[in-house]
Amino acid sequence: MIALHNRYALGGITHRELADEYGVSQITVQRALNHQTWKHIQVQCAPVNSDLVRFWAKVSKTENCWEWTGALQRNGYGWFRYNGKMGKAHRYSHLISKGDPGKLCVLHRCDNKRCVRPDHLFLGTVADNNADCIKKGRAVKGAAKLNEQIVACIRERFAKGGITWQDLANEYGVHVTTIQNAISRRSWK
């Protein structure tokens, strides 16, 4: 039943789709979601995921964006502790709704840094993220090669491992010291 509630709470699935999946009527699904008896549905119950419960308690759903109401980073993105470490709220939303984004960046269609609505999020490479920043007028054109969003993505990628300072420096066309300073927060605090 918890799995059923989690899937329904994430949105994007209707009573009809759940009924078809479990081979029951829509009324049976509605009763299950309303915590009434439901002998006919065989669902694997998992223990309540406290990260999931805490996450949704900090989301305000509106007609358009689902805004993060918890802690914010200086750059305006939602900040949330899950799996024992801090991370961006929109990345966690993608993780629980669509799967682990891995080393890819999670971008916003709506351009709202606080939005965690799964259908407003999509995956992209660093190059996609940079192009999106420029397209939406958030990137500095000209002398600066890095900005807050790019540095945040660099830090995430480096923290996950599998990439060196030199690899990042080559990718962004900056000196390795610039990358080291950005990652260690000597610059781009």
pLDDT digit string (tens) for 58-71?
999 988 999 999 99
In a domain, 69, yes or no: yes
Residues 6 and 33 placed together within one structural domain of the fold: yes
Amino acid identity for residue 159 in this structure: A
Range from 38-47, 97-106, 140-149 carrying the lowest mean pLDDT = 38-47
d(CA 62, CA 51): 22
**Which pLDDT does position 11 carry in this prediction?**
63
Amino acid identity for residue 142 in this structure: G
User: H helices of 40-147, where?
Assistant: 50-57, 89-98, 126-135
Q: Is the pLDDT of residue 100 over 70?
A: yes
Establish how many alpha carbons lie within 13 A of residue 33's alpha carbon, considering only the half-sphere containing its beta carbon: 18
Residues 64 and 119 placed together within one structural domain of the fold: yes
**Which pLDDT does position 142 carry in this prediction?**
43
* Neighbour tally for 176: CB within 10 Å: 14
Q: Is the pLDDT of residue 106 over 70?
A: yes
Residues 4 and 41 placed together within one structural domain of the fold: yes
Residues 23 and 3 placed together within one structural domain of the fold: yes
Render pLDDT for 14-41 as a digit per residue (tens, 0 to 9).
777 766 666 667 777 777 777 654 444 4
Domain boundary among 105, 123, 141: 123
**Which pLDDT does position 42 carry in this prediction?**
45
Mean pLDDT in the chain? 80
Q: Is the pLDDT of residue 110 over 80?
A: yes
Query: Is the pTM here over 0.85, yes or no?
Result: no
- Contact call for residues 177 and 168 (beta carbons, < 8 A): no
Render pLDDT for 131-167 as a digit per residue (tens, 0 to 9).
888 787 776 544 467 888 888 899 999 998 889 988 8
- Domain range spanning residue 140? 126-183
- Contact call for residues 108 and 115 (beta carbons, < 8 A): yes
**Which pLDDT does position 38 carry in this prediction?**
47
Q: Is the pLDDT of residue 120 over 90?
A: yes
d(CA 128, CA 78): 21
Residues 41 and 58 placed together within one structural domain of the fold: no
Q: Is the pLDDT of residue 126 over 50?
A: yes
Q: What angle do CA 96, 171, 75 make, to 5 degrees?
A: 50
In a domain, 89, yes or no: yes
d(CA 107, CA 179): 22
